[in-house]
Amino acid sequence: MTTEVTVPTLGESVTEATVGEWLKQPGDAVAADEPIASLETDKVAVEVPSPVAGVIGEFTVELGETVEVGAVIAKIEEGATVAATGEEPARAKQMREEGNEKREDDGGSASSGDGSVSMSPAVRRVVLEHGLDPTTIKGTGKDGRLTKEDVLAAAKNKGAGPADASKPAPAAASVPAAAKGERREERVKMTRMRQTIAKRLKAAQDNAALLTTFNDCDMTAVIEARNAYKDVFAKKHGIKLGFMSFFAKAASLALKDVPAVNAYIDGDEIVYHDYVDMSVAVSAPNGLVVPVVRSVDAMSFAEIELAIADYGKRAKEGTLTMEDMQGGTFTISNGGVFGSLMSTPIINPPQSAVLGLHRIEERPVAVNGEVVIRPMMYLALSYDHRIIDGREAVTALKIMKEAIEDPMRMLIDL
């Protein structure tokens, strides 16, 4: 009996997606509810589970093809599972052999019992670029799948030790190097998520009156507090005490005192919030995503750190949901983790402001008439000038600065 696999409901107002990765191949056995494909939507990757146990028969759409909700993407031969003895039904064996031949033609590999590795097109490209053997790389993605970060980390460590002469070099390594002076180009279709990011950022520039105000803050007090309590904090809460929780609490204070920074424009009305749902930009294999930590103003430092860590882990695994991304009244983006000294972040519509954090750098500053060396960070607050006046933006950023330089303010709500 053949069962069709259809595109599931993708979320509110989302009607289509792009086939980003096949997690199984024709001839592979699947269990009921086991993911067989990953679809890229405007915001997140959505896995499509198998409705029944059986063997993958055929795919009815191509990798990279746009599909609508309810469309048939694959067919499963129900009940044609691989026996516990390891023997396969004749039809399943035939489909597996056909799938293997197709994978060889495509130059890719898939996760199966033959020791091959499941890779998305982006990951496969990085593997080939660095001449790595994917079977020697430990995957940290869902179900052990390789991520781009896994491959880049392996490439960075490549050559750290003597080569193992007993292992054959990967095929990609034998590709002759480009001749000196030769120039190459590669044309790669943008993922649906990257297309959406591009459209939203351009729309923000076109529709909002963007302006950025800067300040710098002395990180001495926060660093001292973190160093004094990080061990007992981690022991009690099971999570490291980072800087993001301090900035989330500091921003919450500022947004309560300056409500316009936590509001947005809806037609000819301004919508104010008496809560803070904070979007936190985190890096995912397919681009930057901004899951929402809800009611962050009512959360403890530990709850904030746990929520952000969970989002970071799920972003890397590709398991964030549409609900995780929806809403948000204010955004924090930490470019400092990548070494940025200063930037002008773009707001995340329909929000009206975003706080940009940057790297901590020791610099000489004047304190009480003396020049001292302090760990300093530049803060950038980009905002929509249609709703937020310069005075309000500067005041909000100043409140954040003061809270970071004197963390006691966050405990006594000043």
Domain of residue 306, CATH code: 3.30.559.10
346, 249: one domain: yes
Mean pLDDT confidence for 116-127: 62
Q: What are phi and psi of 121, to 5 degrees?
A: -55, -40
Provide the H-helix boundaries in 118-179. Answer: 121-130, 148-157
Q: What integer pLDDT is reported at residue 157 of this predicted model? A: 80
- Given the residues 33, 143, 385, 406, select the one marked as catalytic: 385
Contacts of 13 (CB under 8 A, 6+ apart): none
DSSP state of 327: -
233, 346: one domain: yes
217, 277: one domain: yes
Contacts of 171 (CB under 8 A, 6+ apart): none
Identify the three-state secondary structure at position 135: helix
Q: Is 200 exposed, middle or buried (0-12, 13-18, 19+ CB in 10 A)?
A: middle
Could you tell me if residue 234 is inside a domain? yes
* Contact (CB, 8 A) for 381 and 212: yes
- Given the residues 33, 114, 231, 389, select the one marked as catalytic: 389
Segment holding 302, helix H or strand E: helix 301-317
Strand-pair partners of 56? 76
159, 61: one domain: yes
pLDDT, tens digit (0-9, with 9 covering 90-100), for 266-309: 989 999 999 999 999 887 766 678 899 999 999 999 999 999 99
Q: Which two tokens stand for residue 185?
A: 């180009």
Residue 48 lies in domain: 2-174
pTM tops 0.75:
no
User: N- to C-terminal Cα distance for the chain?
Assistant: 67
Strand-pair partners of 265? 270
Q: Bigger pLDDT: 91 or 241? A: 241
Strand-pair partners of 1? none
Could you tell me if residue 179 is inside a domain? no
| Distance between CA atoms of residues 79 and 75, nearest Å | 13
Q: Bigger pLDDT: 34 or 363? A: 363
DSSP state of 341: S
Angle at 128 between CA 19 and CA 44, to 5 degrees: 30
Q: How confident is the model at residue 252 (pLDDT cuts 50, 70, 90)?
A: very high
286, 394: one domain: yes
DSSP state of 215: E
Ranking 13-27, 92-106, 214-228 by mean pLDDT, the lowest is 92-106
Mean pLDDT confidence for 96-102: 49
Q: What integer pLDDT is reported at residue 105 of this predicted model? A: 45
Q: What is the domain count for the chain?
A: 2
202, 156: one domain: no
Q: Which residue in this structure is represented by tokens 């660095």?
A: 130
Any catalytic annotation for residue 389?
yes
Contacts of 132 (CB under 8 A, 6+ apart): 151, 154, 155, 158, 170, 172
Q: What integer pLDDT is reported at residue 385 of this predicted model? A: 95
233, 92: one domain: no
Whether the pLDDT of residue 113 is over 50: the answer is no
Q: Bigger pLDDT: 111 or 328? A: 328
Q: Which two tokens stand for residue 25?
A: 């191949």
Q: What integer pLDDT is reported at residue 167 of this predicted model? A: 44
Any catalytic annotation for residue 385?
yes
* Contact (CB, 8 A) for 379 and 216: yes
Percent of the chain beyond pLDDT 90? 39
149, 200: one domain: no
DSSP state of 267: T
| Distance between CA atoms of residues 246 and 404, nearest Å | 7
Whether the pLDDT of residue 178 is over 80: the answer is no
Q: Which two tokens stand for residue 84?
A: 């516990």
359, 234: one domain: yes
Q: What integer pLDDT is reported at residue 307 of this predicted model? A: 94
From 147, 174, 201, give the residue that closes a domain.
174
